[in-house]
Structure 1
Amino acid sequence: MNELWPGADRECILDAEYRDRIVRAHRERGRKALRAVEEGRVKRYLDFFVVVGRSDEYVVEADFCTCSDFVFRGCECWHILAVRIAEETGLFEPFDIWYQDTWKP
């Protein structure tokens, strides 16, 4: 597996070395993702991960995100990176409810 994402068999610690590897690999997107994880803006619901951005919440599932960057460019955004980091480190806020039940139009 990619050395940046060691996988479920090994838990990562969000130390300086891990942060540096993320920033070297992903530059500004890596910085934004790390900031979101460190600030507790990654939430895990029963159905989705949600990353709280500057102006909205973005649903992330596998390699898909609802943000405009992902929708228009079709490549990995910083929200997806934040979820990967959160999964690897365990640094997310768990919610024992369905995100879809929290959504209000």
Structure 2
Amino acid sequence: MRQVVMTKPGEIVVEKRPDPKIEEPTDAVIRLTATCVCGSDLWPYRGVQEVHHQVMGHEYVGVVETVGPEVETIKAGDFVVGSFWASDNTCEICRAGYQSHCVHRTVMGS
């Protein structure tokens, strides 16, 4: 897999990283078809904020390749749209429709 990383203001590089895999029973692996640079990436890119070797393009669309055994709402072959938060979609907050506030959320690309 490849990822775009901001290494310093005004500089991005493409790096290789291991292909994603199911690690938790609520995980899904998604083959990206398109991604975009987030507006929040522009501040460090322009030198206004500090750069922390950050992965860019964490808002995306893609096709589900595989899902963990506890995933019930999507399946392989589904087209999905995602944001910069990864959520488990099983906690009470997710079930109420607030996945961006999931108690188990992580930032995409982390």
Q: TM-score, normalised by structure 1?
A: 0.31
User: Larger strand proportion, structure 1 or 2?
Assistant: 2
Question: Based on CA coordinates, which of the two structures has the bigger radius of gyration?
Answer: 2
Higher RCO (C-alpha under 8 Å, 6+ residues apart)? 1
Q: TM-score, normalised by structure 2?
A: 0.30
